[in-house]
Every structure is written in structure tokens, then in C-alpha cells.
Amino acid sequence: MKQSTAILAKNAPLIGLLGQPNTGKSTLFNALTGARQHVGNWPGKTVEKKEGSFKYKGKAYTLLDLPGTYSLSANSEEELITRRNIIGNDIDLVFALVDASQLERSMFLLSEIVGIKQPVVVLLNMVDVAKSQGREINERRLSELLGVPVLPFVASRGTGMGDLYALLENGNYQQYILHEDALKKEYKAQIGESFTALEQKLQPFQTDTYTSMWLATKLLEGDKEITESIKNTVEGEDWSEIQELLAQMTSGLLKSADCKFNWLHQIAKDVIVKQREAETLLNSFDKVATSPVWGKIIAACVMVLSIYASYKLGYKLSELSGIIYGYAYSVTYTGLSAINTPAFLIGFLCDAVLTGFFYAIMMTFFVFGAILIFGFIEEVGYMARIAYVFDNTMQKLGLHGKAIMPILMSFGCTIAGVNATRVLDSGKQKLLSIITSWVVPCSAVWGVITLMGSAFFGSNVVWVILLLFAVTLLHMKFTATLFGHAIIKPEDRAGLIMELPPYHRPNFKTLFKHVWLRVAGFLRRVIKLIVCITIIFWLLSYTPDGNITGSLIYKFGSAIEPFTMLFGLNWELFIAFLVSAIGKESALAVVMTLFEQHAAMGNIYNAAFMGIGVATTDVTANMLASVSIPQALAFMFAFFFNVPCYITVAATYAETHSIKWTVRIVAYYIASALLLAAIVYRIALLFF
């Protein structure tokens, strides 16, 4: 995947890819564009924007992956972006993906663009799944009813690509406009003369982009953007007449939806040929998998196994990269020493640059594990069931059911949790899920807390852990509420509306291609940031003789100790708190280094990056003698709720494409961690 927009073909036909979630849109996009993709955000939005290009017989085409949505009502950023692009004049042709296995409901999005004079080609995807369900679709008849080409398709296997390329080669897209007569007839039959009068009243305002019928349906539905546009266009007397007509048509949004579904139902009856009805084993399983009680139990088991599998896979691959790193470090160090390279330059290249690069590689393997495992779950159709059964639970945090995946993934690794937010369809929901997942303590946090807590509190550490867990739940609720009100407006809050896609066999070629593009894109976006941070920390901690007291970090920490004691942290604990944002597992090793001040371990950088972690560190007598119980509690709370790690920060930027939001999230978690530390410290002083 390349970031440069140079990969996008200039002066090439622009094709918009339209479809509901789970219709195979991303699969087709990746199949057509391959690595020729540019991923960013829509201007001023948190919604991901994907563009790509492809060639056929020497002619270039640009493909725009429009946000997946269920309607074009402009009630969310995704809906607004999709509608404005379809109405706009930039797109030459729309590929509308429709799920053949759920034809009637999947075509609802198509009903939303009837009346928009935009060339459309319907890609009837998953025809193989429909056949396995015992039904065939007469695509020729469907094409006649819609007035546009309908191509049977299996995006995961590339079936139908030849017909698609042939259609593009023929050109002359302007004739592919959806018929509106049948839908208009349905509106007139269901609503009556008031709709006819409204449509006629709006005829002077139809354009080359949309018809008066489309405008009438939008006014009937109470669409804010279209209503405001018409209000500012017509004269006062005409607007009053329009309002009178709308007043005669109560419950317009529901009536409009009924008209569209009736129209779709008639089409489905006409084009679907049912061959058999059979109760399969999957049908029986699905009834259990979507039940209120057993559905949660099954989903919880699947998620626990998935988290374990993804973490185990990432860990094993990370171990392998660690072996390669050790060899590369040895060869580089030996080679540079052989040519009498200055010690500072050797340390910079080996300890900073090389270590930072491999540190990024190691962490990326955890991302790979998460994307692969959860991509598989989504590919077979089970992800939607998990979202469905946990939706009511997650609604209490202002999140949709799918957000349960990144939350649980974060218990293993927050980096993987942040990347798991890709399963969410809404940009705002994705952002809120990322923010909330930062509260969840990863596995490394529990290791440090248990080890340090046991040294200070013995068997009573269990009460400290229970207290931390209780504060975590309160913190998560507070964070979700605080940011939820800022990100998602009250009028945009609604329950989860989604399709439950049919179960189907995964296409591993498509899955691995998707995983490769995602992982490569992640690594490309974060590796520069990770190496830069590694270099900065190395420079701050470097001393020629390895003695801590000569480092900039030591001088900085000693100078700010009067300030850090406000939070109950002496300078050693505060530096360890800051270092914990590099990697949680390194925090205790850094504390030991600072309190011991051994020349051999004097370089704090080694403790943070070079593998001196929880597994090889014990809480020393110096620390137990120098740190009081209130200070220990303050550090444990500050450490527990601090920024997960700097690679999580990089992953957050990679997912949000927003420096502003990334900085906000980091600042919030540092501030909240120190605030909690200060509160706990003051309370602990009353008892210890």
C-alpha cells in the first residue's frame, strides 16, 4: 500500500464503491486496486477515506471506497459523506454492491439513490451463498426492473470480474440511471395525492443531479440538509404551501420506509426463484448463537479463544524477530567496532536506530495476530453475531456491540485492541472505542502490579488489585461518557442497526491479502514515529560511562521532584511513570535501575528497551527502604492508568489519522493518571 496520491490515476474515470457493511465492498476494493491504495481521512472527519487505482487494457480507473452505511439519511458522518459524493459531479459511475443472499434488505441502500441521476451498475455479490441457501436470482429480470446492468458476482473468488471489465471497456455510463417510475407509483399509492402535489410543486427545483421525486421523499423524511436547501431556495409563499402539504403527511419517515420496502418486496418476489427450504445445522446453531443467554456464552468463549490465539501468534512471531534482532545487533556492533567507529555513533546506530526498528517489528506482529484472527471471524460471518448479542451491554457505555472486541482485545495488548476497532462501521464509534480501550490494562500491567504490590503489601495485594479493577470500571464509564458527549451528538445516538450476514467459507487468499495490506499500512505509518521516539529517549538517557547521574533524564528528574511529589511520586518513580508510556513491562526495570544506580545497569535506555523486564527483575531492598506505602500506591495507580505504550499512541494515530485527537487522548490519560495518583496518595497518608 502506498501513501502517495501519485498512485491515483489522473484524468481517469472515478468509480464510487457503494454498499452496506458486510456486502463484500472491501474485498472488491482490494481485489481491484491491490497495493495501489491511498488511505487517509475525509477532510475534517474521523471517517476513513480509501482511494485506489487499477488499469484494464491500458486504461486507468480511480476507485473511491465510500463509507459503508445502511441508508443515505445524512444522520451520521458516513451517510453524509456517501450522499454528498454520489450527488456531487465528481463520480462518473457507482458500483452498488448488493448481497444476493439477503436481496430485499440489502437493496434498501439502492432505493435511497433512486431519483439521483447518477450512473449505477449493480454488482450482485455472494450469488454462491444464495445458491447454497436454495435460491437463484434472475439477474436479467432484476436489470429490467431497475433499469441498470446487474452483474452476478463473487468478490471473494473474483467471479464476475470479466463482465465488470467488459462493461467498463464499453463506456457510455450515462445511460445506467435507476428507474424511478415504479417507486414513484408506490409513494402515490401509499401516501396519496398529497405526495403527488408535493412532487409537482418541487419540479422547478429538480436539477441535472436529482429529480423532484427524490426531493419530495427527502422532505417527507424530514431530511435536515435537503429541507434547509429547499427552504433557502424557494420563495416564502411557495415554502408555506410545501409545509402545508408536508403537514398532511404525518409519520413521513416511516411511510417513506414502508414505500421503499414494498417496492423492494415486489422486486424480490419477481426475481427470486426458491428451489428448496431446508433447516441446516448452521440455521440451528445460529438460533442458539443469537439467543440472549447462550449467545453471550458462546461469543465469550469465541472471544477468549481468539484473544489467546492472536496473542500467542503475535508472541511467537515476536520471539522470532527477537532472535533476528540479536543476530543483527551483534553483526552491526562487531562490524562498526572493527572499523573504529566512535562509541557514541555505535550506540546511536545499534541501540537507538536498530533497536527502535526491531521494536516496531515486534509490536507489529501482535497487530498481525489480531487482524488475522478477527479478520477470519468477520470473514465467516460470526463477528456480526458477537456485536448483536453484546449490543445492549455496550450501549451502557454509548458504544455499539462490535466495540466489545477491541475492549477485550486490550486485556491482551492495547495495540491489538486499537487495531481491532477496524470492525466498527462508524468513524465516531471507532474513535470512542479507541479512547475507551486505553483504560483497559494489558497483560504487562498486571505483571508489574502483581510483582510490585506483593513486595509492598504481601497477601493483601489482592485488595489493591480489586480496588484497581473497581476504579477501572468507573474510569471506563466516566471516559466513555465524557468523550461520548463530545464525539456523538444526542440525536445521533441510536441502537445498532445491522444485517446478520450468512455464514460462509472463508477465502483465505482474500483474507491474507487483506491482512497484508492492513499490517503493511500500519507498519509504514508507525515505524518512523517509533524510531524517532526511540532515538529521543536514547539521547536523553545516554552517558559515556553508563552512570545514571550523568544523563539528562537524571538531571531533569531531580529538578522537577518538588512538583512530582504533589502526586506522591519522587523523581525516580516519576521517571518510571514516564518510561511506562514506552512499554509497561519496562517500568519496574527502570525503577530498579534508578534506585540501584549500578554502572552495569546505569543506562535507563537498556532497562526500557533491551529486555530487562519484569521476568528478570526483583523489587530491591533499596526501593523498599526509599518508597513509602502511600508513594507505592500512588505509583501503582499512576502506572496502571497511564498511556498504554508509545506504540499504542502510534497505532491510535494510524487508525484515526488525526494528530489532534491523538494528542488529546494522550494528554487526557496522563492527566487522569496523575490526578488519580494524587488522590490515592492523599487518602493513603491518612492511614499509613
pLDDT in tens, 644-686: 888 888 888 888 888 899 999 999 999 999 999 999 999 999 9
Bridge partners for 116 per DSSP: 210
C-alpha 67 chain-centroid distance:
13
pLDDT of residue 557: 79
> What is the tens place of the pLDDT at every residue in 97-114?
998 888 888 898 899 999
Question: Measured between alpha carbons, how far is residue 421 from residues 360, 368, 394, 400 in Å?
Answer: 20, 14, 14, 11
Across 623-649, b (16+ Cβ under 10 Å) vs e yields beeebeebbbbbbbbbbbbbbbbbbbb
Global confidence as pTM: 0.65
Mean pLDDT of 304-310: 78
Has residue 619 got a pLDDT over 70?
no
Mean pLDDT of 228-241: 82
Is 569 or 454 the better-scoring residue by pLDDT? 569
Q: Is residue 585 within 8 Å of residue 447, measured between CB atoms?
A: yes
> Which among 188, 211, 22, 178 has a CA at the least distance from the CA of 105?
22
* Helix (H) or strand (E) run with residue 93 in it: strand 93-99
DSSP symbols for 483-544: HHHHHS-GGG--------PPP----HHHHHHHHHHHHHHHHHHHHHHHHHHHHHHHHHH--T
3 state DSSP class of 64: strand
> What is the tens place of the pLDDT at every residue in 172-214?
888 899 999 999 999 988 888 888 888 888 888 888 888 999 9
The CA distance from 133 to 54, in Å, is: 34
> What is the tens place of the pLDDT at every residue in 250-300?
888 888 889 999 999 999 999 988 765 555 677 788 888 888 888 888 888
The CA distance from 569 to 461, in Å, is: 20
pLDDT of residue 3: 37
pLDDT of residue 547: 67
pLDDT band at 493 (very low <50, low <70, confident <90, very high): low
pLDDT of residue 86: 86
pLDDT of residue 179: 92
Mean pLDDT of 583-599: 60
Amino acid residing at 75:
N
pLDDT of residue 387: 75
Q: Considering only 50-54, 74-78, 122-126, 256-260, which range has the smallest mean pLDDT? A: 74-78
Report residue 397: phi and psi, to 5°: -100, 5
Q: Which fold has domain 181-274?
A: Helix Hairpins (1.10.287)
Is 396 or 119 the better-scoring residue by pLDDT? 119
Has residue 612 got a pLDDT over 60?
no
DSSP symbols for 138-198: -HHHHHHHHTS-EEE-BTTTTBTHHHHHHHHHH--GGG-----HHHHHHHHHHH-HHHHHH
pLDDT band at 590 (very low <50, low <70, confident <90, very high): low
Contacts of 585 (CB under 8 A, 6+ apart): 444, 447, 448, 613, 614
Percent of the chain with pLDDT strictly greater than 90: 16
Bridge partners for 272 per DSSP: 137
Has residue 72 got a pLDDT over 90?
no
**Domain 5-175's class?**
alpha beta
3 state DSSP class of 211: coil
pLDDT of residue 277: 53
pLDDT of residue 602: 43
Q: Where in the chain is the domain with CATH 3.40.50.300?
A: 5-175
Q: Where in the chain is the domain with CATH 1.10.287?
A: 181-274
Report residue 184: phi and psi, to 5°: -65, -40
Strands 135-137 and 272-274: antiparallel
The CA distance from 453 to 344, in Å, is: 38
Report residue 430: phi and psi, to 5°: -65, -45
pLDDT of residue 585: 65
What does pLDDT average to over the chain? Answer: 81
Mean pLDDT of 380-397: 79
pLDDT of residue 598: 42
Percent of the chain with pLDDT strictly greater than 70: 86
Computed from CA positions of residues 75, 80, 84, 86, in that sequence, does the dihedral angle turn out positive or negative? negative
pLDDT band at 37 (very low <50, low <70, confident <90, very high): low
